[in-house]
Amino acid sequence: MINRIDKKFQEDKKLLSIYFSAGHPSLEDTVPILKKLQAAKVDMVEIGLPFSDPLADGPTIQESSTQALSNGMTTDKLFSQLENIRKYINIPLVLMGYFNPMMQFGIEKFCKCCESIGIDGLIIPDLPVDIYHEKYKILFDKHGLYNMFLITPQTPEKRIRYIDKVSNGFIYMVSSASVTGAKNTFGDSQKDYFKRISGMRLSSPTVVGFGISNASTYSTAIEHSNGAIIGSAFIKFLEDKGVNKIADFISSIRD
């Protein structure tokens, strides 16, 4: 069966993917947020698995993660929330989290749970691509899970080509070398980076993340890529306006 992520990229459109922390703002908001995002015609969703030491995340995502943990979010809780999710949600769902909680849960058990509820892929920022390739790719493939890797403006071309060869789904282009967080515009160096990666003619689609917060940064990001991911700006919106206003946020990005 074709993976939903591949299917989505075959639609020949620029994708909008949204990231949020599971269990935030409230513990039971995970499923309502997913339903509202699908209704607002978002293409893909990344569900953040909260972790106490999120290295790549800026203050907004860190705080949402901390709040989710204090709300009682755990890996077990997330899997139970998502148990019947494919009755309502047909867009690709990606779990984004750190390797430590997955190892504590048990990697094989984690992959099995993902497969049984219909998760399409994982993003694990602290799992190096070579370790994945040597130790875990066979397991991920067995459970139909894609694993997406991050590249930054500093990633050497050789490594990008290697990631392109051994991973599937898409390549997550981090827009800058800093942690996550919303920005109002992209500078020339970021635009040059987007163009440079586009010029490499990779076989994997590319999606830009970190620093996308409004229609302007979204349109700059998708000019030379297949889509863009919004996290911090969406989380702030949820905190300010609540789950019921999600459609307003999505239309502000796309219109």
Catalytically annotated residues: 46, 57
Query: Nearest CA to 46 among 124, 128, 129?
Result: 124
Place of tokens 């990697």: 107
In angstroms, the CA 134 to CA 137 distance is 7
By the 8 A CB rule, do 119 and 4 touch?
no
Contact 18/234 with Cβ under 8 angstroms?
yes
Measured CA to CA in angstroms, residue 72 lies from 15, 117, 156, 185 at distances of 32, 21, 40, 36
Cβ atoms of 15 and 9 within 8 Å: the answer is: yes
Continuous H helices in the chain? 4-9, 30-39, 59-71, 75-81, 99-105, 107-117, 129-131, 137-142, 157-166, 188-199, 215-223, 232-241, 246-254
Peptide bond into 205 cis (omega under 30): no
